[in-house]
């Protein structure tokens, strides 16, 4: 059960975003790196890049289906995908295709609203398992300050497996402090957000309020990761209880035998001048590989850190 929190309404940053990916450790996954959604086993592993001259997307990859749960491209487009909790069914279309189609190069200068209209038209009639998706793209509206990057944002969902795709812009409150998980985006009147989203949004808003103008980016990233470690006590023991905790300690979710837990965390910072920082941190791992039986906490000090300028062809990985 993934979760994400963000703001696109900050004086220093066009975007501050953090997210947990909750997944089975046995599901094959490639760590974050630059690629172009080439064939699995080429650009993902770096041994034989499918498009070595123009990797355009920074993300991890789900090697089972080929897509990603979260990514950013060189122009500043960002997609964050969460599944909707529902009974398992098979669908002909993969939700990961939605993220890749949004993150791959598009016609520049097209407003996000028009792109989403085309996106919905292109996918009309295709059935996907339930999903929610946050989409962000550099604004085409002239900024108040010349040379300033701002992001337009929208939420896309099918409200459950096989449902029709719908989209809407973020509300002012969601632009200021938004949260997304595995529940329905547009709830029935009076139906509250999931407890993990409620808690996370409060903690995220408090974190934003505590930032000073000179707070170092490294400190911002650590505060985001700290926010993502919150969990209830005792830890949930069943899938129905995962809506209450931001960090998911390993549990076994029948009928699947492998443990389900928070696999990794990601923080993305994009300044108004276009400087971007992307940090991915492992949380739980299988020390003996995918055949290992018991997960352990990942060691610290092995973050995957990428810094680049939105709109630039160069990138620095640290």
End-to-end CA, the chain: 29
Contact 60, 69 (CB under 8 A): yes
Q: Position of tokens 């209880």?
A: 241
pLDDT score at 1: 57
Q: At how many degrees (to 10) do helices 217-227 and 195-210 cross?
A: 160
Number of residues that make up the chain: 318
Is 0.85 topped by the overall pTM? yes
Contact 82, 180 (CB under 8 A): yes
| Three-state secondary structure call for residue 88 | coil
Q: Position of tokens 């996106």?
A: 119
| Among candidate residues 272, 277, 273, the one with its CA nearest the CA of residue 216 | 277
Contact 156, 116 (CB under 8 A): yes
Q: pLDDT tens per residue, the chain (318 residues)?
A: 599 999 999 999 999 999 999 988 888 899 999 999 988 765 544 443 444 557 899 999 999 888 999 999 999 999 999 999 998 899 988 898 899 999 998 888 899 999 999 989 988 889 999 999 999 999 998 876 777 999 999 999 999 999 999 999 999 999 999 999 999 998 888 888 899 999 999 999 999 999 998 999 999 999 999 999 999 877 777 777 789 999 988 877 665 556 678 999 999 999 999 999 999 999 998 876 555 567 889 998 899 999 999 975 444 444
Element of type H or E holding 23: strand 13-24
Strand stretches in 124-258, DSSP E: 131-138, 151-157, 166-169, 178-180, 251-252
Q: Where are the alpha helices (DSSP H) in 104-148?
A: 112-123
| Among candidate residues 281, 279, 274, 280, the one with its CA nearest the CA of residue 308 | 274
258 Cβ contact list (under 8 Å, min separation 6): 24, 25, 26, 252
CATH number of 3-317: 3.60.60.10
User: Which pair of tokens denotes residue 287?
Assistant: 């020390």
Q: Where are the domains of the chain?
A: 3-317
Q: Taking the mean position of all CA atoms in its chain, how far away is CA 55?
A: 19
In whole angstroms, what is the distance from residue 214 CA to residue 181 CA? Answer: 31
| Among candidate residues 75, 153, 165, 80, the one with its CA nearest the CA of residue 118 | 165
pLDDT score at 186: 86
pLDDT score at 42: 55
| Among candidate residues 88, 64, 69, the one with its CA nearest the CA of residue 254 | 88
| Among candidate residues 163, 159, 204, 200, the one with its CA nearest the CA of residue 182 | 159
264 Cβ contact list (under 8 Å, min separation 6): 20, 21, 60, 280, 281, 282, 283
User: Which pair of tokens denotes residue 156?
Assistant: 């896309």
């Amino acid at each position: 059960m993934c979760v994400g929190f963000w703001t696109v309404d900050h004086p220093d940053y066009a975007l501050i975003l953090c997210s947990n990916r909750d997944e089975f450790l046995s599901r094959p996954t490639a760590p974050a790196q630059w690629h172009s959604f080439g064939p699995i086993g080429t650009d993902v592993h770096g041994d034989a890049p499918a498009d070595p001259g123009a990797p355009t997307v920074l993300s991890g990859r789900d090697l089972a289906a080929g897509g990603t749960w979260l990514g950013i491209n060189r122009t500043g487009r960002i997609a964050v995908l969460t599944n909707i909790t529902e009974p398992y069914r098979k669908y002909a279309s993969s939700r990961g295709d939605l993220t890749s189609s949004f993150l791959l190069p598009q016609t520049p200068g097209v407003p996000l609203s028009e792109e989403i209209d085309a996106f919905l038209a292109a996918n009309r009639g295709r059935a996907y398992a339930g999903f929610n998706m946050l989409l962000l793209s550099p604004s085409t509206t002239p900024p108040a300050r010349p040379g300033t990057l701002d992001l337009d944002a929208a939420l896309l969902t099918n409200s459950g497996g096989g449902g029709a795709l719908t989209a809407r812009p973020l509300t002012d409150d969601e632009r200021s402090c938004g949260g997304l998980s595995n529940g329905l985006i547009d709830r029935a009147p009076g139906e509250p957000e999931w407890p993990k989203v409620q808690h996370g949004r409060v903690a995220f808003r408090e974190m934003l309020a505590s930032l000073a103008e000179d707070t170092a980016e490294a400190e911002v990233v650590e505060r985001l990761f700290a926010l993502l470690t919150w969990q209830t006590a005792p830890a949930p023991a069943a899938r129905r209880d995962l809506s209450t905790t931001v960090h998911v300690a390993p549990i076994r979710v029948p009928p699947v035998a492998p443990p389900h837990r928070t696999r990794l965390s990601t923080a993305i910072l994009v300044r108004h001048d276009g400087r971007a920082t992307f940090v991915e941190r492992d949380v739980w791992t299988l020390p003996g590989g995918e055949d290992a039986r018991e997960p352990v906490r990942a060691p610290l000090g092995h973050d995957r850190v990428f810094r680049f300028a939105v709109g630039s062809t160069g990138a620095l990985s640290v």
